[in-house]
Amino acid sequence: MGIDSSLPSLDDRPHLLGMRPVDLQAHLEEQGQPCRPEFARRIQAQLISHGRAEIAPRRPVPQRILRYLDQHTRRDRLEVLERAEDPADGFVKYLLRHPDGAVTEAVRIPLLKEGCFTVCLSSQVGCAMGCVFCATGRLGLKRNLRAWEMVAAWMTLRDEAPGRVTGAVFQGQGEPLHNYDAVMQAAQILSDPCGGRIRQEAITISTVGLVPAIRRYAQEQRPYRLIVSLTSAVGARRAELLPVAGRFAMHELREAVHEAAAQWSGRFTVAMVMMEGVNTGQDEVDGLRDLVEGLRVRINLIDVNDARPDGYRPPDEGERRGFIDRLQALGVPVVRRYSGGSQRHAACGMLAATRWDEGEGAAEPPTDLATS
- Report, as residue numbers or ranges, the catalytic residues: 105, 348
Other Cβ atoms within 10 Å of 63 Cβ, number = 8
3-state secondary structure 236-255: HHHHHHCCCHHHCCHHHHHH
Phi, psi of 360 (to 5 degrees): -120, 115
Q: Percentage helix, strand, coil, to 5, in the chain?
A: 35, 20, 45
What are the residues whose beta carbons fall under 8 Å from the beta carbon of 272, sequence distance 6 or more? 229, 230, 231, 279, 284, 288, 299, 300, 301, 302
Q: Are strands 297-303 and 334-336 parallel, antiparallel or unpaired?
A: parallel
To 10 degrees, what angle do helices 282-292 and 250-261 make? 50
How many Å is the Cα radius of gyration of the chain? 21
Contact (Cβ atoms closer than 8 angstroms) between residue 338 and residue 332? no
3-state secondary structure 168-235: EEECCCCCHHHHHHHHHHHHHHHCCCCCCCCCHHHEEEEECCCHHHHHHHHHCCCCCEEEEECCCCCH
Other Cβ atoms within 10 Å of 247 Cβ, number = 16
Largest CA distance in the chain: 68
